[in-house]
Amino acid sequence: MTTADPTRTAAGPAPAARRTAGDRRAILADRVEKVLTHVLILVGVLLSVFPFYWLAVMSTSTTGEIFGYPPRLWPSDSLVKNLQNLFSSVDILGALLNTIIVSTLCAVLVMFFDSLAAFAFAKYDFPGRNVLFVLMLATFLIPGSLSLVPSFMLMSSIGWVGTLQALIVPGAANAFGIFLLRQMAAGSIPHELVESARIDGAGFFTTYWRIGVPMMRGGLAFLGIFTFITAWNDYVWPLIVLVNPGRQTLQTALQNLNSLYLTDYGMVMAGALVSVLPLIGVFIIGSRHFIANIAAGALKG
């Protein structure tokens, strides 16, 4: 009496038995590749997060602990003291409020004006459209530092030196956002949809609001985050035009913490932590809409 082979069936050898050595090597190589990919992603995440962690550690330490050797890798107990010194040294709440106002208004205005211009460039044919678009792209060739003196003279002539309008109005539109949204609108908004809206009697602003804005939502989310972070971190132009100490933004206020002879680096790092936390929150909130629209576009494709 013979014993049945468990690796065999009525139709022949089981699938596991039919696997060749080459198949097993391919499966093993695929698993190794996946493990290496996950390890590299994990290393990249750790390298990206570590500067923020190190900032948090330094904001809880004293100057002596920051420059101590070996470096301290765990939080200390000086965060409250550093924050107290920070709030007593500069008007951090006023600077924070000014920065929030400037960054928010810049982001909203840029999203509105840039998307409006981009929709017109992408879906409407008007005289001089290509010439205007080329001239707008040519502004990329002009370094921003060259416009500092003319911009300051213009702000001075209209009486805006020392006011927040000098930061908000010049940043209400930019060529980068128009180019980005124009390319997105040209590829994602069907021309037939715009034509059908015209036939139904919709005007330019109605077509823009009901068709253009929903179709450009992903690009608008990215542009809003990018503009908010750029305006939040701007240092040179606010340092030049905000001559009133009561109208300082966060970056210029933090600059006052640096002393000529003695700098409390724990207090400086606490101020940097205060300036970074809102940016992280804005990125988390805004990136959800950005990623969601990318995923929706991928599913539709």
Question: 187-199 pLDDT, tens per residue?
Answer: 888 888 888 888 8
pLDDT-derived band at 289 (thresholds 50, 70, 90) equals: low
State yes or no: pLDDT of 127 exceeds 80: yes
Overall number of domains in the chain = 1
Classify residue 284: in a domain, yes or no: no
Question: Backbone phi, then psi, for 121, in 5-degree steps?
Answer: -65, -35
Contact 232, 294 (CB under 8 A): no
pLDDT-derived band at 71 (thresholds 50, 70, 90) equals: confident
Report the pLDDT averaged over residues 199-227: 87
Sequence-ordered strand ranges (E) for the chain: 8-9, 12-13
Classify residue 105: in a domain, yes or no: yes
State yes or no: pLDDT of 12 exceeds 80: no
Classify residue 289: in a domain, yes or no: no
Lowest mean pLDDT among 2-6, 95-99, 171-175: 2-6
* Mean pLDDT, all residues of the chain: 83
> What CATH number should be reported for the domain holding residue 150?
1.10.3720.10
Classify residue 23: in a domain, yes or no: no
Look at residue 126 and give its three-state secondary structure: coil
Burial group, residue 172, by CB count within 10 angstroms (0-12, 13-18, 19+): middle
Question: Backbone phi, then psi, for 13, in 5-degree steps?
Answer: -65, 150
**Distance in angstroms between the alpha carbons of the first and the last residue of the chain:** 61
For residue 232, give the DSSP letter. H
> Per-residue pLDDT tens for 228-273?
999 999 988 998 898 877 788 888 888 878 765 677 888 888 888 8
| Percent over 90 (pLDDT), the chain | 19
State yes or no: pLDDT of 50 exceeds 80: yes
Report the pLDDT averaged over residues 34-57: 90
* Per-residue confidence (pLDDT) for residue 192, from 0 to 100: 86
Contact 177, 112 (CB under 8 A): no
Taking the C-alpha atoms of residue 222 and residue 216, their distance in angstroms, rounded to an integer, is 10
State yes or no: pLDDT of 15 exceeds 70: no
Lowest mean pLDDT among 20-29, 73-82, 275-284: 20-29
Give the residue, 294 or 262, on which the prediction is more confident: 262
Taking the C-alpha atoms of residue 58 and residue 75, their distance in angstroms, rounded to an integer, is 7
State yes or no: pLDDT of 100 exceeds 60: yes
Classify residue 81: in a domain, yes or no: no
pLDDT-derived band at 297 (thresholds 50, 70, 90) equals: very low
Question: Backbone phi, then psi, for 17, in 5-degree steps?
Answer: -75, -25
Nearest to 80 by CA among 267, 279, 263: 267
Contact 291, 81 (CB under 8 A): no
pLDDT-derived band at 18 (thresholds 50, 70, 90) equals: low
Contact 121, 133 (CB under 8 A): yes
Classify residue 38: in a domain, yes or no: no
pTM for the full predicted model: 0.80
State yes or no: pLDDT of 25 exceeds 80: no
Q: What angle do CA 33, 39, 45 make, to 5 degrees?
A: 135
Taking the C-alpha atoms of residue 235 and residue 188, their distance in angstroms, rounded to an integer, is 36
* Per-residue confidence (pLDDT) for residue 112, from 0 to 100: 94
Classify residue 135: in a domain, yes or no: yes
Give the residue numbers spanning the domain of 104: 90-256
Classify residue 8: in a domain, yes or no: no
Structure tokens at 253: 């206020």
* Per-residue confidence (pLDDT) for residue 298, from 0 to 100: 40
